[in-house]
Structure 1
Amino acid sequence: MKLVFALLLSLPLLAGAKQKLPADVAKFIDNAEMCEHFAGEWDENDKARQRDITQAIEQSCGAAQQQLKRLSVKYAKQPAIRKVIDQHANDAVRSFRTQGKAD
């Protein structure tokens, strides 16, 4: 119970930390989190749901991957911000490939 209470008390601190980031970095984090979420939602049994998931993956992962490239250059000389960016550059973002794109 104490652990749950401690976690609830720390939520505003985590939200505050995200608010102190530059807006473009905060948007990248949102896209990266959504990318990872939808990448884990694969469901071959429901074709309609799968189409929705695929569309969400393409949107969030594609945006996050483009942002990652741009932000890595923009914040190259700001190690604290680069660390946050790198921490959120999950496997789903780094490995995303658009449909029909050749490697």
Structure 2
Amino acid sequence: MKKYFLLLFFFLIPLAAFSSEKLPKDIRLFISYSFECEHFAGEVGTELPKRQQDEMNREIDKYCGGAKKQFEILKEKYKNNSTLLRRIKNNYNDTVDSYTKF
């Protein structure tokens, strides 16, 4: 049993180090919104009751709309930092790009 905990421990250390990458708060927020946008957009379906569809649409507006606005601001703000600009562009997914308000 201890052997499994040790293996798990040594497996999680590199993951924790990778996840603690220091990014500015505004970029972390953008990445989070972009991820949530894709998540909620994938959850929408006509089989949901109207109330749930409306709730999903509100979440999509919040996250997709927010990520789309943030992208333009961050792209300008970090235009001289190629590393951060690459991270921003890598998280600008098709779902965010194709978002239009309902």
TM range (shorter): 0.7 to 0.9
| Distance (whole Å) between structure 2 residues aligned to residue 34 and residue 10 of structure 1 | 25
- Over the aligned positions, Cα root-mean-square deviation in angstroms equals 1.8
Identity %: 32
- Cα distance, 1:52 vs structure 2: 1.3
Cα distance change, pair 12–98 in 1 and its aligned pair in 2 (3 A): same
Alignment partner, residue 74 of structure 1:
77
Gaps of 5+ in 1: none
Alignment partner, residue 100 of structure 2:
97
TM-score normalised by structure 1 residue count: 0.82
Gaps of 5+ in 2: 1-7
TM-score normalised by structure 2 residue count: 0.83
| Distance (whole Å) between structure 1 residues aligned to residue 39 and residue 11 of structure 2 | 22
| Distance (whole Å) between structure 2 residues aligned to residue 8 and residue 50 of structure 1 | 38
| Distance (whole Å) between structure 2 residues aligned to residue 25 and residue 90 of structure 1 | 14
Runs ≥4 residues deviating over 4 A? none
- Cα distance, 1:42 vs structure 2: 1.4
Structure with larger Rg: 2
| Distance (whole Å) between structure 2 residues aligned to residue 57 and residue 7 of structure 1 | 35
Q: How far does the alpha carbon of each residue in 1:15-65 deviate from its partner, in whole angstroms, 9 at most, with x for none?
A: 201xx0011101101100100111111121112221111110000001100
- Cα distance, 1:7 vs structure 2: 5.9
| Distance (whole Å) between structure 1 residues aligned to residue 79 and residue 17 of structure 2 | 26
Alignment partner, residue 61 of structure 2:
58
| Distance (whole Å) between structure 1 residues aligned to residue 97 and residue 18 of structure 2 | 24
Cα distance change, pair 51–67 in 1 and its aligned pair in 2 (3 A): same
User: Which amino acid in 2 is paired with 1:92?
Assistant: T
- Counterparts of 1:15-54 in structure 2, within 5 Å, are 15-17=19-21, 20-46=22-48, 47-54=50-57
